[in-house]
Amino acid sequence: MPIYDYSCRTCSHQFEALVRHERIPACPKCQSQDLERHFSLPAIKSESTRQLAMKAAKQRDVKQAREADYTQRQYEKHHDD
């Protein structure tokens, strides 16, 4: 059973749907069946893509840690004991 990407021509909502027996799914937002099917690209995983994903995750974690630290300092600065 393939998963296809669709966009609704009525409301422009984009979604994925698991299609069984080539039935036309309905848009989850407006229930229209006036859909356009798009090509789905396969997810390719290799050592280089894993390294890029890890690098992006580490950068995201550093940013979140900075934001949490800043929020904590602002709380302590403006908090009355």
Q: Per-residue pLDDT tens for 11-69?
A: 999 998 888 777 888 999 999 999 998 877 777 788 898 899 999 999 999 999 999 99
Greater confidence, 45 or 74? 74
Instruction: Say if residue 25 is in the same domain as residue 51.
Output: no
Amino acid identity of residue 62, one-letter, is V
Q: Determine the pLDDT at residue 1.
A: 54
Q: Determine the pLDDT at residue 38.
A: 87
Q: Contact, 2 vs 38, CB < 8 A?
A: no
Instruction: Indicate the number of domains in the chain.
Output: 2
Instruction: Say if residue 51 is in the same domain as residue 80.
Output: yes
Q: Determine the pLDDT at residue 2.
A: 72
Instruction: Say if residue 55 is in the same domain as residue 75.
Output: yes
Instruction: Say if residue 75 is in the same domain as residue 52.
Output: yes
Residue 18 belongs to what domain range? Answer: 3-38
